[in-house]
Chain A
Amino acid sequence: MNLRRTLNVTRKELVDGFRDRRALYTILFSTLVGPMVVGLMFSKTAGQEKAAQEIQVPVVGREHAPLLISWLEQQEGVQLTQGPAGAEEAVRESVVDMVLVIEKDFGEKFRDSRPAPVKVVSDATRNSARSKVRKLNGLLGRFSNETGSLRLMARGVNPVVASALKVEQVEVSSAQQRVGMMLGFIPMFLLVATFSAGMQIATDSTAGERERGSLEPLLLNPIPRWQLLAGKWLAAALSSFGGMMGTLLVTAFVMSRLSLEDIGIRLQLGGTQMLLMVAAMWPMALIAPAIQMYLACYARSFKEAQGYMAFLVFAATAPGVLTTFYPASSMPWMRWLPIQGQYIMGTEILSGKAPSVVLLVTTALVAMAVAAFFLHLATRMFSSEKIIFGR
């Protein structure tokens, strides 16, 4: 094989590609937008969790339940304020996040050891209030239990008999859950960056050659078609990989700026995780340009090819989105799939699960086979008289 000629094709495509300013901006944008979005999401969650640690509870009718009020006031991070008269109105119109309403007959029922009525007025559609409401509900539940236990003891009954079950809460706090969901976005943006960073060269060196009429003179050079395409593919793959690395580095930087630890979010994105991410996800940079080049062969113009590329990114991210929002749809065998496999491994690495060496090697081999297959198809396209001359 004429490695030197192939590498010259690669060099030419890289030089040509990086002189295209608009394409460079596209790559830059696709590299930065992902980490920015991830950073925003995390800092928003962090802000909400922080806010939930210090809650202000507007209370209506505090005079009916002095015991409950003083208990609440002793709890850490709780501040009671005077609630508005029309509690439901105020919540609906977002004047306050929630209102604790203590009913008139609270005192009487409480004294008679009957369930004393309180109301928590809230709006479930309001994300910012959700964790505060959850905290208030938790506090009310604790008060209820503690008071109940005291009552049983006063009647000479061991309060333990009232607990038929011993439920151990293995708590995955709300923040962790949302973080888990957000973790899926990082490999997702890596995937998008991989596809968009290689797209320019992949399409310009195929559909672009046809559109310019430069394909015919190019094919007159004594270099086998597959070596020519391999050179073009290598250029696109390098660009693709560069986009992936850029996104990963910027994401790591953004994450390091956010102080997530003090609100109890543990995200794994240190040096080891970065290396593992690269080891697991680099094969995507082999597959993406190969598919893009094959598809672009069908396009008569660069513009048309870009339309196909947009659809391709969508098709490639769809399975990932599915497994993020329906984790049950993720099966172990899916790790062997190209693209989807890299995506799943990326998510797992971020949640602290390292893939085995065997898995890393085999998924890379699968990716190489897929890339070779699409390159083979593209080579066949490049040998077709219809493709060479049909413009």
Chain B
Amino acid sequence: MIQARNLRKGFATVVAVDDVSFVAPDGAVTGVLGPNGAGKTTSLRMVYGLLKPDSGTVEIDGLDVAADPLKAQERLGVLPDVSGLYPRLTAREHIRYFGNLHGMFGSELEAHIDRWIAMLDLTAVADRRVAGFSHGERTKVALARALVHEPQNILLDEPTNGLDVMSTRAVRTVIRRLRSEGRCVLFSSHVMQEVSALCDCVVVMGRGHVVAAGTTEELLALTETTNLEDAFVRLVGPQGETA
């Protein structure tokens, strides 16, 4: 479970995130929805401990991220907004490297690697260097290496951004599976369909604030609209798009 309380983060001249609180429970997919520049990525970076909040706290399964980031990261699997692979390593080596860094070795690790390669349909390219991989294959490799240590909490920053249909389906399947295994999935997106297709609960952000939070139905009721897109526009306001 991920719990963010009153997060605030400012950069040189702007306050990127102000008083953001949300909860992402276990066994559910929580979507952070917002236009570009709403503070989604900044919020997630504070959750996974690479940005220090100016104020506020993040707890992962009750562990304070700021107090013990390494302990919290053990329980966290993250797909950041750039996949960031090493062109000269193979897909399998990427996954193994991150497994090693999580303290996994030997046949136990190899079993996990094989499982994720199969699940993400990477078998055919597993032992190729990633230099020539398509965007979809790269994202899947990045996803597999983020999940190889079977974390309880999963953070995905725009996971299906720019993916083709097949890759998008593969990623969605993985997300649903993680939920059914009782894990906590938190992902950000600016794509409405993505959020409505997957999320049990939506946190809508605009201009560094949480504008609304709840299930899709709750948001529709709140805004008296019939689809999430209208609800989103109503909540964020058209000016939000330019922020």
Contacts and interface: CB of A to CB of B under 8 A. Distances in A.
Q: Do A and B come from one complex?
A: yes
B67 interface: no
A16 to B, nearest CB: 5
Contacts of A385: 50-52
A213 B142 CA distance: 12
Interface string B82-102: 111111110001000110111
Contact of B89 (A15, A219, A388): A15
Interface stretch (A4-12, A86-94, A104-112, A344-352): A4-12
B48 A220 contact: yes
Contacts, number: 84
A220 B74 contact: no
Interface stretch (A58-66, A221-229, A282-290): A221-229
A216 interface: yes
A290 B46 CA distance: 30
A20 interface: yes
B78 interface: yes
Contacts of B129: 19
- Of A2, A213, A217, most B-chain CB atoms within 10 Å: A217
B133 interface: no
Nearest to A17: B88
A215 interface: yes
Contacts of B49: 220
A12 B89 contact: yes
B71 interface: yes
B84 A2 contact: no
B76 interface: yes
Nearest to B52: A385
A308 to B, nearest CB: 22
Contact of B88 (A8, A16, A209, A221): A16
A214 interface: yes
B103 A214 contact: no
B88 to A, nearest CB: 4
B146 interface: yes
Contacts of A213: 80, 82-84
Interface string A10-43: 0010011001100000000000000000000000
B82 A12 contact: no
A119 interface: no
B21 interface: no
Interface residues of B, number: 34
B6 to A, nearest CB: 20
A381 to B, nearest CB: 14
A212 B73 contact: no
A8 B100 contact: yes
Contacts of B84: 209, 212-218
Contacts of B221: none
- Of B84, B85, B102, B145, most A-chain CB atoms within 10 Å: B84
B70 interface: yes
A222 B70 contact: yes
- Of B50, B87, B98, B105, most A-chain CB atoms within 10 Å: B50
- Of B85, B86, B98, B142, most A-chain CB atoms within 10 Å: B86
A15 B93 contact: yes
Contacts of B74: 222
A213 B98 CA distance: 15
- Of B100, B101, B142, most A-chain CB atoms within 10 Å: B101
A215 B45 CA distance: 13
B73 to A, nearest CB: 4
Contacts of B76: 220
A305 to B, nearest CB: 17
Contacts of A220: 48-50, 73, 76, 78, 80, 146
B93 A221 contact: no
B73 A221 contact: yes
A332 B185 CA distance: 65
B93 A216 contact: no
A20 B87 CA distance: 10
B51 A216 contact: no
A221 B100 CA distance: 10
Contacts of A9: 101
B82 A216 contact: yes
B78 A2 contact: no
Contacts of B48: 220
A385 B78 CA distance: 17
B59 to A, nearest CB: 17
Given A8-B101, A222-B103, 10 more contacts: A8-B97, A8-B100, A12-B86, A12-B97, A15-B89, A217-B78, A218-B101, A220-B80, A220-B146, A389-B50
A-B pairs with lowest CB-CB distance, top 5: A214-B84, A213-B82, A221-B101, A213-B84, A8-B100
19 contacts: A2-B103, A5-B101, A12-B86, A12-B97, A16-B89, A19-B89, A212-B86, A213-B80, A214-B85, A214-B86, A216-B84, A217-B79, A217-B83, A217-B142, A217-B145, A218-B101, A219-B50, A220-B80, A385-B52
